[in-house]
Amino acid sequence: MQNSADSGLAAPSEGRNDSFASIVSNLVSLSQHIQASIDLIETAIDQESLADDQEICADIVVLDDVTPRYAKAIAALSACNASLGVAMELLLDTKTSGPQADRAADRRLFASA
């Protein structure tokens, strides 16, 4: 019977680690995209508030019905980002293969996002 080293096939644990790394990478990427979206919305709110301030100075009052939608979008994105954090913690807690140093590195990777 051939072992995996003789047949050139990867050992099953290597495949699991590759899959795990791919999942972690995707979660980190999603978190970064969400944060970028939050930043864009915050920038749009800032720009609109500057425009509103200029209009108020010109004795024009504008009822702002857009900012509450932005705030709701930020809240939804923040909740999504928090859920991704929970998913990452669950993955890291259930990872049974690999040394503790790997888990610490994975946590640092996700925390930096």
- What pLDDT band is residue 1 in, cutting at 50, 70 and 90? very low
CB 27 within 8 A of CB 84: yes
- What pLDDT band is residue 104 in, cutting at 50, 70 and 90? low
Whether the per-residue pLDDT at 22 is higher than 70: the answer is yes
Averaging pLDDT over each range in 5-14, 19-28, 78-87, 104-113, which range is the top one?
78-87
pLDDT tens per residue across span 41-97 = 999 888 877 765 555 555 555 555 667 888 899 999 999 999 999 998 888 887 654
Query: Taking Cα atoms as reference points, which of 97, 101, 86, 103 lies closest to residue 30?
Result: 86
- What pLDDT band is residue 107 in, cutting at 50, 70 and 90? low
The domain ranges of the chain are: 11-112
CB 102 within 8 A of CB 13: no
